[in-house]
A and B are shown apart, each in its own frame.
Chain A
Amino acid sequence: MELTDLFSNLALGFSVAATPANMFWCLMGALVGTAIGVLPGVGPVATMALLLPTTYYLPPEGALIMLAGIYYGAQYGGSTTAILINLPGESSSVVTVLDGYQMAKQGRAGAALAIAAIGSFFAGCVATVAIAVAAPPLTKVAQKFAPADYCSLMVLGLVFAIVLARGSVVKALGMVFLGMLLGLVGTDVNTGNLRYTFGISDLFDGIGFVPLVMGLFGMAEIMANMTNAERRDLVTSKVTGLMPTWADLKASAMPVLRGTILGGFLGILPGGGAVLASFSSYTVEKKLAKDPSRFGKGAIEGVAGPESANNAAAQTSFIPMLTLGIPSNAVMAMMIGGMMIHGIVPGPQVMTDRPGLFWGMIASMWLGNLMLIVLNLPMIGLWVRMLMVPYRLMSVAILFFCCIGVYSLNNSANEVLFIAVFGLLGYLFFKLDCEPAPLLLGFILGPLLEVYMRRAMLLSRGDAMVFIERPLSASFLALAAVLLVIVLLPNIRKAREVAFVE
């Protein structure tokens, strides 16, 4: 019964995803994603923010399919840069640099690129099936949640995101609170009162998601990157021998499998995502290797494992977003932003109310992965040439796209002023070593949390004990508390720092 459901769901998905228009948006997303993945200094979050206004003109299916394509496309692209020039194109390919670049220096760039692509494709296929299998039961569970349970689940999600984020836990907590506070700016939907608007009429509807993200991620990124003088050592502009040898494939098979499983699990955890997955996979491969000293000197396992892991995680991180409506990282916050632009309220009801959208997006991930592996390897030459575009020109172009993107939302010049302000704020956060990602999660979840808190309090007739009396809610809160305590204990904190440094 369940299996036939799975097939009929996937069939529905493919019937949506395989229409020419949606195939086109999927391809566009994957290509744009690869392009920004290749370019160091332009992250998927900033790019998705740049394209968010454009998706306003698309049907919701096309919009979300394209946005998703950007994310997993970026995972493919990031590895190209990591292997060819000793620089991670994406933060999730930081570890690929270690062995990938060494392989390229030994003239095995082709093999490294091919293994990275094959590993990513395999991981993408498995993760797509994993989403399709895991989503319906999780959604069923989520539909039974009472408002109080939802409230506590959001708290748990935020705590998870803090625990798994890099850097100081206290600062991450502060950023979450600040983000939630920013999310509450504007008209209180329940009472109609204005909050923190300072009499500025553009703030009556709240702070716009797009200006906030473009300022914090786009403008601040330009500022930070302009300071660093750039050096790009391209190994070789000609990549030959794209086919990996039989020995390469054999050596990579197990790391790919392990990376996929590891990445798949880590991706589901809020705050986990692609970066954590690739780091963990590298550590695992190094520990399991017969001769760990080969790592860092061009071991193919060091490319195969992490590259599979980051792609698997990139895709499974859609699970909590799709089923619970809770973003696990900044990229998923962006996907939710994309949904809300189209008036879709994220949550478990998406699957039942809009099955075409839901399953279409999942099916498009598999199609997108297929397109990426078919297109990417032959297009390596083009990507390499794109790396020649100097940052001094790219920064100017990004600035323009930030401005026009925000302006196009409401044709409001004042909102462009906001990105200037948020850009400054973003740079300040950067200098104070405060990660902006938790702020974004707080910004999305803050207003939702308030809605559910009010509902819970109304239902319980003003009894705050409802959060502890409901078993589900209580266990979420307990888990959140335990996690916070654990991560603040000195010993664990040290271990965590070491893990992230490695």
Chain B
Amino acid sequence: MRIKGSQDLAAGLMFGIIGLLAIKIGADYPVGSWQRPGTGVLPLILAWCLVGIGAILTLKGLVSAGPSLLEGQWAWRPVIMVTLAGIAFALLVDDGGLVAAMAVSMAICALGTPETRWREFAYFTVIMCVTAVLMFIKGLGMPIKVFPWN
């Protein structure tokens, strides 16, 4: 059987799987009484709704024609690099200080597009770092180290 609308199918699976997971985890939550609905009531209602939506979209993706998941490029390079850049900032900011966190994360982010011109990027990073230190650490007094040895 050929899949006619892989985008809808994928969206359906996403909603469906999240819904099922939420039901499984939420099964232990107390439901309380009618008068005092417990912790589990609304999550379970929502989770079942999600499963329903997931089922509809999955069926729709299988049966009726729709856009393909592969239409348009998947931007793997920016997706991976931007995500890594966020993670790098999170890992570095506490121990490495603001300058290191900025330089590393911004460089990783810049790797995400082939359009980056590294000389221009270097100047830009220096300006950004100086501005950020002045604005956030000196100006707003945020408790972040400037350099790792501070």
B87:A177 contact, CB within 8 angstroms: no
A399:B106 contact, CB within 8 angstroms: yes
Residue A420 is within 8 A (CB to CB) of chain B in the complex? yes
Residue of B nearest to A456 (CB): B37
Q: Known interface pairs A177-B46, A191-B30, A392-B110. Does A423 touch B39 (Cβ–Cβ under 8 Å)?
A: no
Number of A-B contacts (CB under 8 A): 188
Taking a contact as CB atoms closer than 8 A, the residue among A180, A396, A408, A462 that contacts B34 in the complex is A462
Q: Known interface pairs A181-B46, A419-B86, A432-B14. Does A223 touch B75 (Cβ–Cβ under 8 Å)?
A: yes
Taking a contact as CB atoms closer than 8 A, the residue among A393, A408, A420, A446 that contacts B142 in the complex is A408
Residue of B nearest to A228 (CB): B75
B82:A223 contact, CB within 8 angstroms: yes
Residue of A nearest to B141 (CB): A57
Contact with B along A368-401 (1 / 0, CB 8 A): 0000000000000000000000111101110110
Count of interface residues, chain B, beta-carbon cutoff 8 Å: 72
* Selected interface stretch from A62-70, A101-109, A262-270, A447-455: A447-455
Interface majority SS on B: helix, strand, loop or mixed? helix
Residue A24 is within 8 A (CB to CB) of chain B in the complex? no
Residue A481 is within 8 A (CB to CB) of chain B in the complex? no
Residues of chain B contacted by A463 (CB below 8 angstroms): 34
Residue A174 is within 8 A (CB to CB) of chain B in the complex? yes
B102:A400 contact, CB within 8 angstroms: yes
A420:B86 contact, CB within 8 angstroms: yes
Residue of A177, A193, A227, A416 with most partner-chain B CB within 10 A:
A177
A174:B53 contact, CB within 8 angstroms: yes
Bound Cα distance A420, B33 (Å): 39
Residues of chain B contacted by A196 (CB below 8 angstroms): 22, 25-26, 43
Residue B147 is within 8 A (CB to CB) of chain A in the complex? no
Bound Cα distance A173, B7 (Å): 16
A402:B132 contact, CB within 8 angstroms: no
Q: Known interface pairs A195-B39, A413-B93. Does A399 touch B34 (Cβ–Cβ under 8 Å)?
A: no
Residue B20 is within 8 A (CB to CB) of chain A in the complex? no
B105:A413 contact, CB within 8 angstroms: no
Residues of chain A contacted by B11 (CB below 8 angstroms): 171, 174, 432-434
Residues of chain B contacted by A464 (CB below 8 angstroms): 34
B56:A222 contact, CB within 8 angstroms: no
A219:B120 contact, CB within 8 angstroms: no
B90:A417 contact, CB within 8 angstroms: yes
Q: Known interface pairs A171-B57, A399-B86, A424-B83. Does A458 touch B109 (Cβ–Cβ under 8 Å)?
A: no
Residue of B nearest to A181 (CB): B46
Residues of chain A contacted by B84 (CB below 8 angstroms): 420
Interface residues of A in 446-488 (CB under 8 A from B): 446, 449-450, 453-454, 457-458, 461-464
Question: Which residues of A come within 8 Å of B, CB atoms?
Answer: 57, 168, 170-171, 173-174, 177-178, 180-181, 184, 188, 190-191, 193, 195-196, 219, 222-224, 226-227, 229, 390-393, 395-397, 399-400, 402-404, 407-408, 411, 413-414, 416-417, 419-420, 423-424, 427-428, 431-434, 446, 449-450, 453-454, 457-458, 461-464
List 22 A-B residue pairs with CB atoms under 8 Å apart, sorted by A's residue number. Answer: A170-B57, A174-B11, A174-B54, A177-B46, A177-B50, A178-B50, A180-B46, A181-B22, A219-B83, A222-B112, A227-B75, A392-B115, A400-B106, A403-B89, A407-B93, A420-B90, A431-B7, A433-B7, A433-B11, A434-B11, A457-B37, A462-B33
5 other contacts beyond A400-B106, A432-B7, with CB at 8 A cut-off? Answer: A223-B78, A223-B112, A403-B90, A450-B42, A462-B34
Question: Which residues of B come within 8 Å of A, CB atoms?
Answer: 7-8, 10-11, 14-15, 18, 22, 25-26, 29-30, 32-39, 42-43, 46-47, 49-50, 53-54, 56-57, 60, 67, 69, 73-75, 77-79, 82-87, 89-91, 93-94, 101-102, 105-106, 109-110, 112-113, 115-117, 120-121, 124-125, 128, 132, 136, 140, 142-144
